[in-house]
Amino acid sequence: MIYKVLYQELTLEVPVRERTKSLYVEAETEREVRKFLSDRNLNIEFIQQLDEAHLEYEKESEDFVVENA
């Protein structure tokens, strides 16, 4: 499964929508995604499992790169 992770790079500041970034992780569960990203010191806002339609939409983005957990 592919998960979209919305995060902020600054963990000590209040999240601001304009600074939100996203990355994509292939993993079996959300817990695996969190464990995979635990050493990156990110302020994770939301993790969303992508269904097929949403995944196809995200693939059209030039920033779409999937990391493996």
User: pLDDT tens digits for 6-65?
Assistant: 999 988 888 888 999 999 999 999 999 999 999 999 999 999 999 999 999 999 988 899
Is residue 58 within 8 Å of 4, Cβ to Cβ?
yes
Give me 68's structure tokens.
């493996």
What is the biggest distance separating any 2 CA atoms in the chain, rounded to whole angstroms? 35
pTM (2 d.p.): 0.89
Tell me what pLDDT residue 38 has: 94
What amino acid is encoded at 18 in this protein?
E
What amino acid is encoded at 12 in this protein?
L
Cβ-based neighbour number of residue 59 at 10 Å: 12
1 pLDDT above the threshold of 90: yes
